[in-house]
Structure 1
Amino acid sequence: MHSEFQKPVVLVVDDAPDSLGFLCDALSDGGYTVLIAHDGASALSRLEWVVPDAILLDAVMPGLSGFDTCRRIRDEPGLTHVPVIFMTGLSGTAEVVEGFTAGGTDYVVKPLRVEEVLVRLQAHVRNARAVRIARQAVDVAGLGVLVVDALGRIAWRSPRAAECLGQFGIDPAATTADWLGDPATLAADPAADARLLREQGDQSLYARSLGAVGLGEHMLLLDVRKRGESSTRIAGAQLTPREAEVLSWLAKGKTNRDIGDILGMSPRTVNKHLEHIYEKLGVETRAAAAALAMRASSD
C-alpha cells in the first residue's frame, strides 16, 4: 500500500459531488487521495496549491463549463502533463471533439462504470508520471525540447526551449505555423537535417524532429548556434572512425546497449569510447555530445 504522501492524487470536479460518492469511495479504496471541487472556479483555485496526478472533470457545469475549465488548465505550463478525463452524459461526436479540442485526455460517459474509470485512470496516471520524469530529465540536461500538438500549438516546452523562443522573439502562445510551418513535414523524416528557423546577428535558430510522441503530437529539438561552430568543433576533435560511429548512433538516440548491438561491441566498450569522445569534444554529458553531433550533421 502507498503511504499517504505517496498516494496518487485525483481532483474530482462536479457540481453535484454527492452523486459521485460511490466513485470517490472507490478511488479511495483504490489507493488514491481524492480532492473535490464543486465548480470550475474552485477547481482552478485548488490547482494553485496542489498539482494532482489526474483530474476527473464534469463537462457540463453552471458558470465555468468543464470545457472552459480544461482550457484554463492547459494554459498553465505546470499543469500541461496532468491528464484530464471528462465525465459527461454527452456522447455525441461534437461534444467529444470539443472535449479533446479543449485539451482533454480521455472521457467517460455517465452513468459512470467504476471499473472502467479506475482502469482508464490508472493507465493515464502511469503514463503522465512517465512523461513528467522524462521532462524533468530534459530540464536537467538543459535541452531545448518542445512538443507541438495536432493544432500547431506548443503543448509543452522545456526551460531551454523557452529561452530559445524568447531570444528570437517568438511568441509561444502563437501557432507554430508562423515560424515553424507544418511540424508533420519536419517529423516525416527524423534523420533529415535540422530546419533553419530564424537568424539574428551571428546566431541561428534550428529545429530538428525527435519524432512523433502522441496522437498528432511531435517533439522537436531547438538549437541556437553560431555559424560554423559545431562542424569546426567536431572536425577539430580528431575522433577515430569507431568513435565517430559511436557518436553518430548516440545522436540518433540509441542507448549504449543499442550501439553495442549495432556495432558488435559490449556496452562497456561503448562507454569507454564515449569517455574518449567527451574528453575530445570538451563536454561532460551524452546530451551535450549528441547536441554537437546533430548540429554538425546540419551544417
Structure 2
Amino acid sequence: MLTPTFSGTEGPRSERVLIVDDVPDNLALLHDALDESGYTVFVATSGEAALARARQAQPDIVLLDAVMPGMDGFELARRLKATPATAGIPLIFMTGLTETEHLVAALEAGGADYVTKPIKPKEVLARMQVHLRAAAQAQGAVQTRRALDAFGYASVTVRLSDGRLMWQTPLARELLQRHFPAEPGGLLPAPVRAWLAQQPLRAQEHLREPPRFQHEQGARRLSFALHPSGLENLDEGDECLLVMREQSDAALIEAMGLNFRLTAREAEVLYWVVKGKINRDIGDILGASPATVKKHLERVFAKLGVETRTSAAAMALNRLRQLHPQWEL
C-alpha cells in the first residue's frame, strides 16, 4: 500500500488530501500528481480504513471512489458527514457511474462535487482548488465569529425576508435566550426584526456607522449592530450579519452601594432613579410594590443627606461618572 508522501516542495501549511480507492493504479496516478503539486497525500483502500485515517489525519479534502467492496463511497460519505470531527471536510466523488441517479446520490450523501472516470489529474486538481478555497473561507468565518465570542461579542446570520437565524455562535444563542426567553429559538426576536425591517440597508453611510438597536433588561443591555460588510448590495432575500454585545451595570450598582453605604436593594433603587424611572416602573423592574420602593428611596435620601429625587440623582450621577467616565444614561 502507498504511504503518505511529503514532497520537498510543500511548506509547513501543505494541504492534506485523503484518496480512497480500492484500485492500486488509480491510487498511484492521483498520488503522484498530488505529490508533485505539493500536497500531503494519505491513502486508504477501503471505507473502514478511510474512516480511521480521516479521524487520525484530519485531511483538508477527501477524494473517494463511489464503488468499493464492503463499505462503498456513499456510506463512507454519510459517516464522515455524521461525525463532527470530519463533517466539514469537502468530499469529491470519483465515479464511473454516470447515470443521473448515481450522481444525485453522491451529492445527497454529502459530496461537494464529483469527477468521472477515467480520472484526469488536472481536472481533479482544478476541482480540488475550488473546494479548498471555499472551505478555507468558511473556516475563516467560523474562526472570526469564535474570536468575537472570546472578546464578549456574539454574532448571528439572519435571513432578511423572514428574520430566520441561519447561523449563530454559542454566545449569541445564550444571550438571545437570556434576553428573549419567550421568543421562538429559530427566529430573530420580534423587536429586533421590526428594527431590522426599518433599516435602509443599501445606504452607503451604513458602511461608516452601522445602525444599532438596544434592548434593556434590568441593568443589562443587549445591543445589535449591523455588520457593515456588503450592506450596499443586500436584497430582501439575502442574509446579513448582526454583531451583538451585552453590557451590564451590575458592577456600577455594587460600587455605588459601597460608596454611599447603601444596601444592595437601595443601590438598585438609586440606580433606576438616576435612569429617570418613577417608583411604579422601579417596582416593576425589581419585583416590588411602589410603596416598598418609596421606603427604600426614603432611606437613600437620608444616607445621601438630600431631600429630593433630583438631588439624589445628581449626586449619584456625579459619583458614577467618577467611577466610570465612559458611563452614559
* TM-score higher than 0.5: yes
Name the CA distance, whole Å, in 1 between partners of 2:89 and 2:193: 37
Where does the alignment leave 5 or more consecutive residues of structure 2 unmatched? 1-7, 160-164, 195-204, 213-223, 233-241, 248-329
Name the CA distance, whole Å, in 1 between partners of 2:33 and 2:94: 16
Name the CA distance, whole Å, in 1 between partners of 2:191 and 2:113: 46
Q: Secondary structure at the match of 1:246?
A: coil
Q: Secondary structure at the match of 2:63?
A: strand
What is the identity, as a one-letter code, of the residue corresponding to 2:128? L
Report matched runs for 1:181-220 at 5 Å: 200=181, 203-207=182-186
Q: Percent same amino acid at aligned positions?
A: 36
Name the CA distance, whole Å, in 2 between partners of 1:119 and 1:58: 18
Report matched runs for 1:34-45 at 5 Å: 34-45=41-52
Deviation, 1:288, is: 2.5
Q: Secondary structure at the match of 1:79?
A: coil
What is the identity, as a one-letter code, of the residue corresponding to 1:254? P
Name the CA distance, whole Å, in 2 between partners of 1:22 and 1:121: 16
Q: Secondary structure at the match of 1:48?
A: helix
Q: Secondary structure at the match of 1:34?
A: strand
Name the CA distance, whole Å, in 2 between partners of 1:98 and 1:230: 38
For the pair 1:103 / 2:110, whether they are aligned, the reply is yes
Aligned CA distance change for structure 1 residues 131 and 230 (closer, same or farther; 3 Å)? closer
Q: Secondary structure at the match of 1:288?
A: strand
Q: State the match for 2:211 in structure 1.
A: 248
CA contact (8 A) 2:75 2:109 kept: yes
Aligned with 2:74 (options 54, 67, 71)? 67
CA contact (8 A) 2:9 2:38 kept: yes
Aligned with 1:287 (options 243, 253, 267)? 243
Q: Secondary structure at the match of 1:78?
A: coil
| CA deviation map 1:158-178 (0-9, x unaligned) | 54477699x79xxxxxxxxxx
What is the identity, as a one-letter code, of the residue corresponding to 1:248? P
Deviation, 1:54, is: 0.5
Name the CA distance, whole Å, in 2 between partners of 1:131 and 1:138: 11
Name the CA distance, whole Å, in 1 between partners of 2:166 and 2:11: 31
Q: State the match for 2:60 in structure 1.
A: 53
Deviation, 1:18, is: 3.6
Name the CA distance, whole Å, in 1 between partners of 2:11 and 2:126: 21
| CA deviation map 1:33-88 (0-9, x unaligned) | 10001111111111222211110010111111101110111112232321100000
The alignment covers a number of residue pairs equal to 202
CA contact (8 A) 2:226 2:243 kept: no
Q: State the match for 1:85 in structure 2.
A: 92
Name the CA distance, whole Å, in 2 between partners of 1:68 and 1:157: 30
CA contact (8 A) 1:80 1:156 kept: no
Query: Considering only aligned residues, what root-mean-square deviation do their CA atoms show, in Å?
Result: 4.3
User: Normalising by the residue count of structure 1, what TM-score does the alignment of the two structures yield?
Assistant: 0.55
| CA deviation map 1:210-238 (0-9, x unaligned) | xxxxxxxxxxxxx6x7x98999xxxxxxx
What is the identity, as a one-letter code, of the residue corresponding to 2:93? F
User: Normalising by the residue count of structure 2, what TM-score does the alignment of the two structures yield?
Assistant: 0.51
Q: State the match for 1:131 in structure 2.
A: 138
For the pair 1:114 / 2:77, whether they are aligned, the reply is no
Q: State the match for 2:290 in structure 1.
A: none
Aligned CA distance change for structure 1 residues 114 and 64 (closer, same or farther; 3 Å)? same
Aligned CA distance change for structure 1 residues 100 and 155 (closer, same or farther; 3 Å)? farther
Segments of 4+ moved more than 6 angstroms: 154-157, 161-165, 227-231
CA contact (8 A) 1:146 1:155 kept: yes
**Bigger radius of gyration among the two:** 2
CA contact (8 A) 1:87 1:107 kept: yes
Deviation, 1:156, is: 8.0
CA contact (8 A) 2:58 2:86 kept: yes
Q: Secondary structure at the match of 1:107?
A: strand
Q: State the match for 1:20 in structure 2.
A: 27
Aligned CA distance change for structure 1 residues 90 and 258 (closer, same or farther; 3 Å)? closer
